[in-house]
Structure 1
Amino acid sequence: MYKKLLKRAIDLIIALIALPFWFIILLIIGPIIYFQDKGSIFYNAPRLGENGEVFKMYKFRSMKLNAPDLRNEDGSTFNSEDDPRLIQIGKFIRKTSLDETPQLLNIIKGDMSIIGPRPDLPEHIKMYEGDEERKLEVRPGVTGYNQAYFRNTVPWKERIKNDIYYIDHLSWWLDIKIFFKTAKSVLKREDVFVTDDIKKLNSK
């Protein structure tokens, strides 16, 4: 009942309530991005959605226009506090997770849920092994079990295992715990960027 119906209803209600507040963020952040690096204030990232369908995930643009696509050894996207591709405000909106707030629109459209596995790049579907494709059984989330408890401290394959754990234990109570754990992590700005220590750990 919760997984099939109530979860979507709760997502939609919360997203519509939050929408006016997001417009205030848009009015503040949008012009700053534009004047710092002339161009679109949004970055529309293609991502894998439920059942493997590709959708455009909305983010505030934190990088310079035409920045090169850098990847980690495991194929995940490169993420560093000292990333030279970031515009001035880019580091701030990443640390505060404000760059993710346009995904409110994805929730309203039905592409995403508030809580769920973080969506992978479309090309990652060819890299799934065993039952890893199971992470596509539900809508991806703005935050999720792995994002809340591990964030960027574990390699990509480990994140998929955590995503499948979430799917197997999905409940309203788990979603509530993930929501508040995420809020705590965002406020404390924990593990936002991949550090050198984490890179070494992930490469072992």
Structure 2
Amino acid sequence: MRVGKRIFDFLVALVLLVLLSPLMAALVILLWYKKEGPVFFMQTRTGRAGRPFTLLKFRTMSGPRDERGNLLRDEQRLTPFGSWLRQSSLDELPQLFCVLTGEMSLVGPRPLLPEYLPLYSEEQNRRHEVLPGITGLAQVKGRNRLSWEEKFRYDTWYVRHGSFLLDLKILFWTFRPLISKEHVYPKGRLSVVPFNGNRQSA
């Protein structure tokens, strides 16, 4: 499956980048014009086999800091335009370049921060047996309304049962929450609660 999945990912990502290039160019211009920080947000995330890579998104938050030089809370830094980008999931479009380079897949567990690596159980760590995805089973089953434990259960189920047909189903199921803007944020919050290990329920 892996070779066929890679070919499918590459071709679909390439076609989408060509088709969406006018939209992406317009977003770059708008973000540059607003001058609220760099156009792109780049962050180290964990990929297949635990290897780090650079995740790419359109920036949705500005960079104000407190008197000690610490960034303000996400809720204080999220810009109105950035909120719209998140709700429409357009901020995720630059990750298509990560698919082209082979660091991500269209479908797979979402890539998380490297500092979470020591916190996973042995079963949860199986999410790194496959490439991380732009969308995944956890995203279509509830996205940020799920607890961390629920997300990881869907991730590991996908690792065990992944197939080309399942990927097609997940891609199809992704459109509904995108259109309806469902589960973009956790209930009552504008940012995801950090994963602190299996003693918590997020």
TM norm. shorter chain > 0.5: yes
Return the match for 1:147 from 136, 139, 163: 139
TM-score between both structures, scaled by the size of structure 1:
0.86
Aligned 1:180-199 pairs, distance under 5 A = 180-196=172-188
Return the match for 1:118 from 106, 110, 120: 110
Shift, 1:25, TM fit: 1.8
What's 1:74 paired with?
none
Return the match for 1:27 from 20, 25, 29: 25
What's 1:73 paired with?
none
Evaluate the alpha carbon distance shift between residue 194 and residue 53 of structure 1 in structure 2; reply closer, same or farther with a 3 A threshold.
same
What's 1:75 paired with?
none
Aligned identity (percent) is 34
Shift, 1:177, TM fit: 1.1
What's 1:37 paired with?
35
Evaluate the alpha carbon distance shift between residue 11 and residue 192 of structure 1 in structure 2; reply closer, same or farther with a 3 A threshold.
same
In the alignment, is the contact (CA less than 8 A) between 2:107 and 2:170 conserved in 1? yes
What's 1:103 paired with?
95
What's 2:121 paired with?
129
What's 1:168 paired with?
160
CA distance in 1, matches of 2:94, 2:79: 18
Unaligned runs of 5+ in 2: 66-70, 193-199
Counterpart amino acid of 2:45?
R
DSSP-derived class of the 2:80 partner: coil
1:92 and 2:84 equivalent?
A: yes
What's 2:195 paired with?
none
DSSP-derived class of the 1:185 partner: helix
DSSP-derived class of the 2:144 partner: coil
What's 1:52 paired with?
50
Shift, 1:138, TM fit: 0.3
Evaluate the alpha carbon distance shift between residue 92 and residue 166 of structure 1 in structure 2; reply closer, same or farther with a 3 A threshold.
same
In the alignment, is the contact (CA less than 8 A) between 2:56 and 2:94 conserved in 1? yes
Counterpart amino acid of 1:139?
L
- Range with greater deviation from structure 2 (89-98 or 152-161): 152-161
Shift, 1:26, TM fit: 2.0
In the alignment, is the contact (CA less than 8 A) between 1:60 and 1:102 conserved in 2? yes
Q: Deviations over 1:80-110 (max 9, x none)?
A: xxx2211231011000000000000000000
Please identify runs of 4+ aligned residues in structure 1 that moved more than 6 A: none
Q: Deviations over 1:120-157 (max 9, x none)?
A: 10100011113211100000000000011111111122
CA distance in 1, matches of 2:64, 2:188: 26
CA distance in 1, matches of 2:136, 2:4: 17
What's 2:68 paired with?
none
TM-score between both structures, scaled by the size of structure 2:
0.86
Unaligned runs of 5+ in 1: 71-77
In the alignment, is the contact (CA less than 8 A) between 1:149 and 1:181 conserved in 2? no
Aligned residues: 188
In the alignment, is the contact (CA less than 8 A) between 1:37 and 1:87 conserved in 2? no
In the alignment, is the contact (CA less than 8 A) between 2:42 and 2:54 conserved in 1? yes
